[in-house]
Structure 1
């Protein structure tokens, strides 16, 4: 039975400030580095066989800490990046609500957002599903750790489980350096646990 542990990266300064990161390449904060080290120890106890990460540095830095704890080599995949938010990146919720009130309300409600430069949910789901399936294929019957981003993780989990966007949107946000566990058996993928970590 193949296990996928889909982990969110550690905290960044923009996380702490409540800023939309999207695909802006922000490094981990000191808190984020400490979270990554702790996650590395916890994930090492899961005896993973493969470690794959988004190529954005907050994910690769998190994956490096996991690699140090597990002895695995990190493979990066740009398809695991966060949803692209274009002109929204770097803004806080208050700034978004002022500049894009209608679109922001739709986004908060989990509805589609039509703003030039903001990636469509179907595109995120499609690339995340493909990346997760490729990662899982690297260790059939083994355990694969994937380090990605909060919104991307939600869409990836939903896509593998066959959930429509409205259902995927109800999945709670992953805390920094927490993960979802999916297992693939004869009946396909199943969500075993969500928001694991310490």
Structure 2
């Protein structure tokens, strides 16, 4: 049975400020590095066979905390990047609401393709889901930890599980440095084993942007 741990990166200053990151390369802050170290000590006990990460530094550096404990290399994959938020990247969410009110309202209502050059949820799910499957295929029957991003993690897992995006909207966001666990074995394919797991009880998760 293959175990796939889909791990959101640690906190950044833009997370804390409510600023849209998307594919902007924003580093971990001190809290994020502490979160990564704490989560890595838990994940190391699962004896992972492989570590894969988004090439954005907040995810790659989160994965590096686990690599330091396990001695495993980190393979990066640009397909694991967060959703591209187009013209919103770098803006505070309050600024997005002011400057792009129609697109923002559609996004809040769950429109999968709200405009403003924001990547569609279908494209995001396929991109992340394919990358997650490839990561798992590299260690069949093993445990693979993938460090990625909150919005991408949800859509990618949904792609593997075959869940419609309306179902995914009912699944809470991952808190920083928490993870979703999927398992695959036998004809049933992928199934959800756990969600929003971390070394400490999770605080309410900010919207993954």
Give RMSD over aligned pairs: 1.0
Q: CA deviation at 1:109?
A: 2.3
Secondary structure of the residue that 2:5 maps to in structure 1? strand
Q: CA deviation at 1:116?
A: 3.9
| Contact map agreement 1:53 1:77 (CA 8 A) in 2 | yes
1:147 match:
147
Q: Does 1:181 align with 2:181?
A: yes
| Contact map agreement 1:182 1:193 (CA 8 A) in 2 | yes
| Alpha-carbon separation, structure 2, partners of 1:162 and 1:90 | 32
Return 5+ residue gaps in structure 1 as ranges.
Answer: none
Q: Does 1:191 align with 2:187?
A: no
The alignment's TM-score, normalised by the length of structure 2, stands at: 0.92
Stretches (4+) displaced over 4 A: none
Q: How many residues align?
A: 198
1:128-160 deviation line (CA, Å, top 9, x unaligned):
111001000011111000000000000011100
| Contact map agreement 1:25 1:57 (CA 8 A) in 2 | yes
| Alpha-carbon separation, structure 1, partners of 2:143 and 2:90 | 35
1:14 match:
14
1:54 match:
54
The alignment's TM-score, normalised by the length of structure 1, stands at: 0.97
Return 5+ residue gaps in structure 2 as ranges.
Answer: 201-209
| Alpha-carbon separation, structure 2, partners of 1:95 and 1:167 | 29
1:91 match:
91
| Contact map agreement 1:40 1:70 (CA 8 A) in 2 | no
